[in-house]
Structure 1
Amino acid sequence: MELRHLQHFVAVAEDRHFTRAAERLMVSQSGLSASVRALERELQAPLFVRTTRSVTLTEAGRALLVEAERILAQVRAAREAVAAVQGVLRGTLALGTEQCIAGVDVPRLLAGFRRRHPDVEIRLRQTGSGALADEVAAGRLDLAFAVRTRADSDPLRYVPLTSEPMTVLCHPSHPLADGGAVTPGDLGGEAFVDFHPDWGPRRTTDAVFARAGVRRTVTLEVNDVHSLLDLLHEGLGIAVVPRHFGHKREASPLVSLPIEDAAVYETVAVLPPPEATSPAARALMGLLTVGAAQGYGAV
């Protein structure tokens, strides 16, 4: 089994299209098709269901994709490890993060990393914590800044960044605004603005209400912190969010209320096992560890 066959297979699986994958890889479509057919002959199983418009993975293809991504990630890590021993950090740093993650100033951290390691290409992906953990596990990301979403038995490593309480945000005219601390039971009848279920704040909030046995209704779902704040500003609902979200709207500020016995919002750096951690990921974590004075660890 040749490495290029796996690379070609993964590209087609990602693009779901032979022509687009060939263009991205800068190879001929006929050569790409021949490479995939060679892999199918070797494995004695079809990997794709081909139509005139697209291709989809077979069950065998889905099984191979998991292992192929892991193999390619390990090969990349091996190459970068050799380069690091030779005194040059190069290759790619693939980083994932949730939006407005607490405990790290991602733009400043990446700027500091680029100054120190200009030969490393930085790639950044922003999505929910569940997807980020899956991509680190699959080797598509070197590390991610997220909320922990997996069990203690998971092989991924979790380095704590910070923790903070969840609070209620609402418009100053909302009936809750004149009160003090609230409980999940006080909020059961409210209309909520919240994030997609894969986001860390949404997962944390769902856990708070599930533990309290309180059902809530999310009427407005967003994928952007500032959209959530704008909706709250218009009085369209309330939100349960990490405390630092309340500091993001200086003009026309919202009211922040503490929640009794609320879960703590904990953010972490998600990394693969030590043997699979790339030199670039180790360098970034080292910079974060020693860079508090430069504000890399700011909330």
Structure 2
Amino acid sequence: MNLRFVEAFYWVVSLKSVSRAAEKLFITQSAMSSRIAALEEELGVLLLDRRDKQFRLTVAGMRFFSHAQRLLALQREIKGEMGAGGAQRAVTLRIGAIESVLHSWLIDWVHQMRRGNPDVELELTVETTPVLVDQIHRGALDIAFAALPSVGERLRSRPLPPMEMVFVGHGQIHRKRRYTLDDLAGFDLLTFQRGSQPHVGLMDLFRDANVGLKRVHNISSISAMVQLVEGGFGIATLPLAAVRRLSERLPLKPLKCEATLPPLPVHASYRDDPTSMVAQGVVEAVVEYVGGSKGLSRSSKKAMK
């Protein structure tokens, strides 16, 4: 039995789509359909019900799916045991992240990861949390770092340390040593898109203090917010870690305030994969890195091979 065909069937079922499974395995949709057809011919049964456009497994398909999971897991174990110490093959990682993660620690982590795994090929997507959650569900990403966890069948999430959020102004314009909420309410305030955690947290902070806001601008891009602050447009709410990096070359200044913004939660989400421990190993490495060790664990390096 060709295990590539078994793997094709596994991803078609997991992603509930032939086209998404083909994208996941970097093959054409026709090639994916051919693999499923060849597997059905070998087994002598139909695995997919093709009578309408709705994805549906046959009874035989449901039974074989559990066998497929065990076969692929066994293949991974055998490769891990018999191939220990062998040559490392190239691995493509499709990673998605919100901008707050990108501007805080992701780039440093990528450099660290590549030093231990030079053959890794990276596909990086920077998007909002709703888009990243959708892409993980569709199988378009291997790992997503977002403000919400991805929840669903065979999806896994790990919480990462939340990001401290601060009010950020222009170093030459906003000179007060300490700001009250009344002070801040007099400025144009810039935060992330409407309904996002930073936006909701900002509105709740002022509402709970019974302080009315002048204007709140919803900007989905950190780069755009930074340019607006740099131009004297207003005050932004950004992750402190991102501000520290950006202030090395820009006139940004975290403002001391009597009130504290809610931290930004971050979750690492990935899909179970019986053929590979790469995604899980990468997430474990990120948890270790962001937690303060700044390095890849030995087990994570092994998982990348």
Q: TM-score, normalization: structure 1?
A: 0.60
Which residue number in structure 2 is paired with residue 45 of structure 1? 52
Secondary structure in structure 2 of the residue aligned to 1:230: helix
Secondary structure in structure 2 of the residue aligned to 1:101: helix
Question: CA separation in 2, counterparts of 1:103 and 1:233?
Answer: 17
For the 8 Å contact 1:161–1:268, the answer to whether it is kept is yes
For the 8 Å contact 1:95–1:142, the answer to whether it is kept is yes
Amino acid at match of 1:143: I
**Cα pair distance change 1:82/1:256, threshold 3 Å:** same
Which residue number in structure 1 is paired with residue 282 of structure 2? 284
2:248 is aligned, of 227, 250, 255, to 250
Cα deviation 1:141-167 (Å, max 9, x = unaligned):
33233334679xxx7422323542x22
For the 8 Å contact 1:98–1:127, the answer to whether it is kept is yes
Which residue number in structure 2 is paired with residue 167 of structure 1? 166
**Cα pair distance change 1:171/1:230, threshold 3 Å:** same
Can you give the 5+ residue segments of structure 1 that lack an aligned partner in the other structure?
A: 16-20, 47-59, 65-70
Question: CA separation in 1, counterparts of 2:17 and 2:125?
Answer: 19
Which residue number in structure 2 is paired with residue 229 of structure 1? 226
Can you give the 5+ residue segments of structure 2 that lack an aligned partner in the other structure?
A: 38-45, 58-64, 297-305
Tell me how far 1:232 sits from its aligned partner: 0.8
Question: CA separation in 1, counterparts of 2:185 and 2:176?
Answer: 18
Amino acid at match of 1:281: A
**Cα pair distance change 1:241/1:81, threshold 3 Å:** farther
For the 8 Å contact 1:191–1:218, the answer to whether it is kept is yes
For the 8 Å contact 2:95–2:144, the answer to whether it is kept is yes
Which residue number in structure 1 is paired with residue 62 of structure 2? none
Q: Which moved more, 1:124-133 or 1:103-112?
A: 103-112
Secondary structure in structure 2 of the residue aligned to 1:231: helix
Cα deviation 1:94-147 (Å, max 9, x = unaligned):
322223528974334334434444565433222123333343345443323333
Amino acid at match of 1:229: V
Tell me how far 1:241 sits from its aligned partner: 1.4
Which residue number in structure 1 is paired with residue 125 of structure 2? 125
Tell me how far 1:220 sits from its aligned partner: 6.2
State how 1:72-221 maps to structure 2 within 5 Å: 78=73, 83-86=79-82, 87=84, 91-101=91-101, 105-117=105-117, 120-148=120-148, 156-164=156-164, 166-172=165-171, 174=173, 177-178=175-176, 180-183=178-181, 186-188=183-185, 190-197=187-194, 202-210=196-204, 212-213=206-207, 217-219=215-217, 221=219
Cα deviation 1:28-64 (Å, max 9, x = unaligned):
79x89xx8xxx9x934223xxxxxxxxxxxxx46x99
Tell me how far 1:280 sits from its aligned partner: 0.8
Cα deviation 1:62-110 (Å, max 9, x = unaligned):
x99xxxxxx9xx7998565654454367554332222352897433433
Question: CA separation in 2, counterparts of 1:161 and 1:251?
Answer: 26
Amino acid at match of 1:237: G
Secondary structure in structure 1 of the residue aligned to 2:49: helix
Amino acid at match of 1:109: W
For the 8 Å contact 2:186–2:214, the answer to whether it is kept is yes
Question: CA separation in 2, counterparts of 1:80 and 1:186?
Answer: 59
Q: TM-score, normalization: structure 2?
A: 0.59
Identity %: 19
Question: CA separation in 2, counterparts of 1:146 and 1:10?
Answer: 24
Tell me how far 1:295 sits from its aligned partner: 6.3
